[in-house]
Amino acid sequence: MSPEYLPLLMFPGMLLCIFSGFPVAFSLMGIAFLFGLIGFEWSIFPMLIRRIYSVADNYVLAAVPLFIFMGTLLERSGIAGKLFDAISLWTGRLKGGLAIATVLMCTIIAACTGIIGASEVMVGVMVIPVMLKRNYQHALICGTICAGGSLGTLIPPSVVTVVYGPAAGLSVGRLLIASIFPGLLLSSLYIIYITIRSYINPSLAPAIPSDELNIPLTKKLSITGTALVPPVLLIFAVMGSIILGLAAPTEAAALGAFGAMILTAAYRQLTMNALKETVIQTLKISSMMMMILAGGYMFSGVFLGMGGGEVTEKILMGLPFGRIGIFVLFLLIAFASGFVLDWASILLIFIPIFSPIIDKLGFNPIWFGILFIMMIQTSYLSPPMAPAIFYLKSIVPPEITMQEMFHGVIPYLILQLTGIALVALFPQIALWLPSKLIGW
pLDDT digits (tens, 9 = 90+) for 163-202: 898 888 888 889 989 999 999 999 999 999 999 999 899 8
**CA pair distance 316, 354, nearest whole angstrom:** 10
The three-class DSSP label of residue 365 is helix
**CA pair distance 123, 388, nearest whole angstrom:** 13
Q: Residue 248, CB half-sphere, CA atoms under 13 Å: how many? A: 11
pLDDT tier at 117, thresholds 50, 70, 90: low
Contact indicator for 396, 148 with CB cutoff of 8 Å: no
pLDDT tier at 411, thresholds 50, 70, 90: very high
Q: What φ, ψ does residue 363 adopt, rounded to 5°?
A: -90, 150
pLDDT of residue 295 exceeding 60, the answer is: yes
DSSP string, 146-195: HHHHHGGGTSSS-HHHHHHHHHHT--HHHHHHHTHHHHHHHHHHHHHHHH
Percent of the chain with pLDDT over 90: 15
* Residue 119 or residue 27, greater confidence: 27
What is the reported pLDDT for 322? 82
Residue 244 DSSP class: T
Q: Residue 183, CB half-sphere, CA atoms under 13 Å: how many? A: 29
What is the reported pLDDT for 370? 95
**CA pair distance 152, 146, nearest whole angstrom:** 11
pLDDT in tens, 306-350: 888 788 878 877 777 888 999 999 998 888 887 777 777 788 888
Q: Residue 431, CB half-sphere, CA atoms under 13 Å: how many? A: 16
pLDDT in tens, 361-403: 889 999 999 999 999 888 778 766 677 777 777 778 888 888 8
Alpha helices in 318-381 (DSSP H): 322-337, 343-361, 365-381
Contact indicator for 365, 170 with CB cutoff of 8 Å: yes
Other CB atoms within 10 A of residue 283 CB: 13
Cα R_g (the chain), whole angstroms: 22
pLDDT of residue 265 exceeding 90, the answer is: no
Max distance between CA atoms of the chain, in angstroms, equals: 77
Contact indicator for 344, 293 with CB cutoff of 8 Å: yes
Rounded to 10 deg, the angle between the 138-150 and 365-381 helix axes is: 150
Domain boundaries, the chain: 60-270+309-437
**CA pair distance 119, 367, nearest whole angstrom:** 27
217 to each of 213, 224, 225, how far by Cα in Å? 11, 10, 12
pLDDT tier at 3, thresholds 50, 70, 90: low
pLDDT tier at 1, thresholds 50, 70, 90: low
13 Cβ partners below 8 Å, 6+ apart? 31, 34, 35
* Selection from 137-141, 207-211, 379-383, 389-393 with the highest mean pLDDT: 137-141
Q: Which of 256, 337, 255, 349 is nearest to 299 (CA)?
A: 349
What number is the average pLDDT over the span 83-103?
84
Contact indicator for 95, 206 with CB cutoff of 8 Å: yes
Contact indicator for 94, 204 with CB cutoff of 8 Å: no
Distance of CA 254 to the CA centre of its chain: 19
**CA pair distance 100, 207, nearest whole angstrom:** 11
Contact indicator for 430, 366 with CB cutoff of 8 Å: yes
**CA pair distance 353, 363, nearest whole angstrom:** 15
Residue 236 DSSP class: I
210 to each of 89, 94, 118, 312, 330, how far by Cα in Å? 10, 10, 33, 61, 50
pLDDT of residue 53 exceeding 70, the answer is: yes
